[in-house]
Structure 1
Amino acid sequence: MNSQNSNIYSVSSLNRAAKALLETGLGVVWLSGEISNLTIAVSGHWYFTLKDHSAAVRCAMFKGNNRRTGFTPIHGQQVLVRAKLSLYEARGDYQLIVESMQPEGDGLLKQQFEQLKCQLAAEGLFSEQYKKPLPEIIKRIGIITSSTGAALHDILSVLKRRDPRLQVVIYPSQVQGIGSGDSVASQILLANQRNECDLLIVGRGGGSLEDLWCFNEAAVAHAIFNSQLLVISAVGHEIDVTISDFVADVRAATPSAAAELVSQNKTFVSTQLDTLVNRLKGAMQQCLQRNQHQQALLNEKLLTQDPKHKLQQQTLVSDDLSLRLNHAMQGLITRKMQKEASLIAGLQQHSPEQSIKLAVQAQSQLKTRLKNAMQHKLKQCENDLNNQLHQLNTVSPLATLARGYAIVKDEQGRVTTNANNINTGDLVNVRLDKGEFKAQVMDKG
């Protein structure tokens, strides 16, 4: 074999050349198919297979592109993709690199259905607190559907068989195609304005999701939610679910089921009639008893409003008040007398007369004691004075003078006890026991 032959490729170069041919040959293609084997990688890339009834192709959609789709595809979903052909060189696998994706057919409708469902749920249109219960007595039913559809025929047949007494008002509406949602919503509004029915049945027979789509429109949902009349949603077959079913006060699986729900068979009507008669008798009996009781109350009230009765009551009240006043006065007088006696006893116990008497006795005793003490003191002082006089007389110079002695003083008044202190011719003062005189010294011995 000639190794220089230019037609010999390595596996890598062959795959590379095939990849270049695929990517440049067809360029960008649009492809419709069903999603299967979807894998969402940690990186955020999507890997899946796109297939139809007889073939399949591997696909990859990178993170930067799949973030713009606005939804996450699910297994079995029909989609429309815009992609480039490519080849995974490591395995030689032919694949599509998807640049954009959108739901196709029912897939798009289902996505819109889920989006509107989430939106209305967030607005509170599905909340149970707004659901109205079925009325106990139904006399007239409003039906909003196509006037030529099978749903109307089914409803009327069931009502005629089960409860022919029910009256029916038909509000013909378009239930399929462009403008059908607005038609249903306007008929709901009209039925509320006329207010001639006890409830409304809104619906149609079965069909595809696209056929039933008017019952998935926001206008119909808001019309049902704002309806003052109770609304029963009866759309399609039992497996069909629409937005109207979530908003309505009651959901019926089919239009015939809605008719059975609001109608009653003859036996039940008879039983209900007996029940109502019994309830009426009971109500009349209760009303009669209430009236008798009210009459008795009025008679009693009339007696209480009689002037004679009022005068008697006032006399009783006056006598009672008089007795209570006398009793109160007697009690007050008794309490005052007891208080007076207590005060007199307290006054006597604390009277100053006894204190004065005791004080006078104490004063008399003190006076006697003072007199005795003064006499004793005077006697003692007198004795002391006599003793002192005796002692004084004992040492007194006057006593000496009484024995014949004299006291001589010089001219200056000095006592002279020495004759040498005076001279002849000096004048002296001589003091005797009784009296004194002046003398002149004539001679000194």
Structure 2
Amino acid sequence: MTLMDEQIPVLSVTALNSTAREIIEGNFPLLRVEGEISNFSAPGSGHWYFSLKDSSAQVRCAMFRQRNTYSRMQPRNGLQVLVLAQPTLYEGRGEFQLVVEQIQESGEGDLQARFVALKEKLAAEGLFEARHKRPLPIWPQRVAVITSATGAALQDIRATLARRWPLLTVLVYPVLVQGEQASAQIVEALHKASTRRSEEVIILARGGGSAEDLWCFNEEVVARAIRASTLPVVTGIGHEIDFTIADFASDLRAATPTAAAEAVSPDRSEWLPRVQGLSGQLTRQMQRKLQDEAQRLDFLRMRLRHPGEGLDLAQQRLAAARQNLARAMLMREQFWTRQFAYLEERRRRQDPIQHLQALQKQLEASRSRLRQMMLEHLQRNQLRLQQSTAALGFLDPLAVLQRGFAVLRDASGKVLFSSADSRSGDILEATLARGTLHCQVLEADATGD
């Protein structure tokens, strides 16, 4: 049998899908199916579209307006429901689906229950408290972006940062953003960015998706890695209505990846007028400074004289200084001449021998007074020493021990002052005036305090 075998009929896609639909609807009656709602949408047509899922599979569902009008419940993502539905095939896209006739609530879905339980657990630990939130840098220069390298979220972030603040350097840490390996890669990227610290803020982002697609951001390890980061983390996950555990753990939750990029970047359209205003102020201040310096230069120019004038003035001052110096030297010479004559006259009038005898008498009298003072000083110090020795004897602890007292110490050598410092059975050391005793406490008086 080959592709060109004419015995095999050729079908168009329309005919194939139509035949498959007839087979499915002809072999399946109305069924009751239970599952968790995800990807719910209600467009303007009034129809409801959603998926029913369990732990290992999902199926697309449609409940048309003429049926959902009579429903007494409003579906929402994460709700566990029971539906009465007809299995069929949507021929336009070749998709297997259930056309729902009736729907009723049967409880919260498994994913929603896990989400609520983890949120309550981490909240009870204080992981989401505002006091743990780190402020974002006002003027960051480098931003780390943790997201899919091929997703639209990265392009939106790059475009937003380039539009708002082109000076920012973006370093991308590519990771999976859905699937079993996604959470481990996200944790590793957070740790790497936190350890390197070459950036100043982290954006953790991905585009919209179902609850299953976003589930890696609801893992406990991701939330704890966000709080353990040394850099502030901004999340922009899914659409505005999507909330994940990572959003609660982050330092700032943005509604979308674009909003996250806006949160970490200054807006040049806002700052450009300020910079232009500051530039104008700086220009005006520089102009005023130049004008002031120009006036100062003009003033210095008017004070500036020809060097010859200064030289003439210096020569005049030098000549005057020479005259003053000659006059002062003459007066000094005359003074010392008179002083020398006066001293010479005094020398002739005084007899050196008599002067020497008088000095010897003064020396002997000084020696006598010195001996008397030393003797008195020695007597006073001896008396003070005797008094101090007597006072020291009263303070000597050995003297107290001589009167029958003892000093008690515990095993560590600490002196005991109260019975409350020991307990029954303690071994104490008693120091006496002569020798030492080791005693055991039989009973400690509790009133020792």
Q: Same fold (TM over 0.5)?
A: no
Structure with higher Rg: it is: 1
Q: Give TM-score scaled by structure 2 length.
A: 0.40
